[in-house]
Amino acid sequence: MYKLTPIMMALNLVAIASASAMTIEPDPQNPGGYLVSKVELAEAAKSKTSNPMYATWAKALQTLDNTSVEAILPGRAANPSNVKRVESVFPQAQWDFLTHMAAPEYTYTRFLRAIGKFPAFCGDYTDGRNADEICKKSIITAFAHFAQETGGHIGKDNVSDNPQGLEEWQQALVHVREMGWAEGQPGYTTGCGQNDWQNRRWPCADGQGYFGRGAKQLSYHFNYGAFSEVMFDGDATVLLNNPGLVADSWLNLASAIWFFLTPQAPKPAMLHVIDRTWLPSQREQDAGIGYGFGTTINVINGGIECGAQNKNKGQPVNRIRYWEGLSHYYNIPIETDEENTCWQQTPYGSLNLNGATDVLYTNWEGDWAYYSDRPGGYSFECKLVGYQTAYSALVPGDYKKCVTNFYQSHASWPAVRVVDTLEPPVDEPPVGGVAGWDTDKVYLGGDQASYKGAIYEAKWWTKGDIPDNSQPWKFIRDAK
């Protein structure tokens, strides 16, 4: 990220045209700051996320309130419709069949509550897709990954440690905390306490450990914070202050469902790979990425497990074995265009999708392009990028936070305040025969303007920069 210097600005007079109508006014309460309209800001965000997939993602991440979630019980008549579907296609007996070795913190009731939190998981379809089949395939896909992430990995013929002769794909959810870690141990605190946007948004709590917990082994403070925001109405501190909840409550399974539904653009959400809401771009297809279980491996851990160099590596080989065993047992049909493996795929982390027009991104970053018709050449807008930032396009209100630099992640970004309505600018009267500064006028080096009873001279080309607190201007004298 960079800011155009005055020399660069002068050399870039052929500037980017405004992407959208924006009215920017000086902020009378903050010299050197600016005001933008709430309405125009909302319109800008809407135009940048007009692709229907953004609405699909947002819907997939809608949640049920926790009071209603905690009322869910097996067989309860008032259970949400997606929970009833799970009870139908994957009843308690099937849960028991796959969890003989599971830690006691994982229960069928907690599984149902985790699913109830997210109505899109095992939800309805109105376009002819078979919701029951998609639901069953989603659960079995999740269990294949559970078996790898938290499984026992004990051979069927190891009668001393596996007296029931369970298949390895029947050994999911053995671990609720990462092996070697216990509550009260601070750990996985890399980056904690630094003066950066991650800590300003998701501050670590003293003495807490953010090691792996739950079915997906949620790790690191920024993941605990982001998950907490979803679980607790935008409050990141609940789980940052008490990460043990991810082990000891229904959040131990909800964290996995959340991951299952969340796109990490350009990676798709796992659900949308399974139900085919996602359409792979041409660049993804050229990289071998398409439908099937293999792509869900790429989403989870492609950098370590996908690509030809990892074809015989233990983790992906295990995942594929577990998926093939489960899908065979549960009669999950494998379509002709689906691949169980990902060794033939380029890992997402190695796939350069910058500039691709058929790939969508889900994080906001300051737009550092130069806009000739806006103060200082700043855009006063944010753009979508394919890497993690402080601001998500799927979190309501984050676009405004990005434009106002809420978490101070944009160096040298102008101070911006959002207001409901903008008042028309007040014309500056002349001072000592020098015309008042005009926010819409272009000033070249040597041009003078009066502002608040003083005379200033432009040092170089400038437009919209307030004279009394702006680098392009130098003070000449007060009016006498």
Tens of pLDDT, residues 263-272: 988 899 999 9
As assigned by CATH, the class of the 53-278 domain is mainly alpha
Q: Indicate whether 9 pLDDT > 70.
A: no
Tens of pLDDT, residues 411-435: 999 999 999 988 765 556 777 788 8
pLDDT interval class at 387 (50, 70, 90): confident
pLDDT of the residue at 469: 64
Compute the CA torsion angle 183, 219, 200, 195 (nearest 10 deg): 90
* DSSP labels, 290-342: -BSHHHHHHHHHHHHH-SGGGTT-HHHHHHHHHHHHHHHHTT----TTB-S--
- Please tell me what DSSP assigns to residue 431: B
Tens of pLDDT, residues 311-334: 999 999 999 999 999 999 999 999
Distance CA 395, CA 198 (A): 16
pLDDT of the residue at 439: 74
What value does the mean pLDDT take over residues 462-476?
79
Tens of pLDDT, residues 178-232: 999 999 888 888 889 888 999 999 999 999 999 999 999 999 999 999 999 999 9
pLDDT interval class at 380 (50, 70, 90): very high
60 Cα distance to chain centroid: 13
**Token duo for residue 95:** 């849960």
Residues constituting the chain = 480
Q: Indicate whether 2 pLDDT > 50.
A: no
Q: Indicate whether 357 pLDDT > 90.
A: no
Lowest mean pLDDT among 82-86, 398-402, 475-479: 475-479
Q: Indicate whether 4 pLDDT > 80.
A: no
pLDDT interval class at 354 (50, 70, 90): low
For the chain, percent of residues with pLDDT exceeding 90: 72
Q: Indicate whether 454 pLDDT > 80.
A: yes
149, 168, 229, 457: which is the annotated catalytic residue?
Answer: 149
CB neighbours of residue 236 within 10 Å: 21
**In this predicted model, which residue has the larger pLDDT, 346 or 476?**
346
| Annotation says 168 is catalytic | no
Lowest mean pLDDT among 155-159, 335-339, 348-352: 348-352
Mean pLDDT of the chain: 90
pLDDT interval class at 437 (50, 70, 90): confident
Q: Work out whether the CA dihedral 364, 366, 367, 372 comes out positive or negative.
A: positive
As assigned by CATH, the class of the 428-480 domain is mainly beta
Total-model pTM: 0.84
Which amino acid does the sequence have at 205? A
Q: Provide the residue ranges of all domains of the chain, joining segments of one domain with +.
A: 6-51+360-419, 53-278, 428-480
**474 beta partners:** 457
**Token duo for residue 173:** 């959810």
What value does the mean pLDDT take over residues 365-373?
92
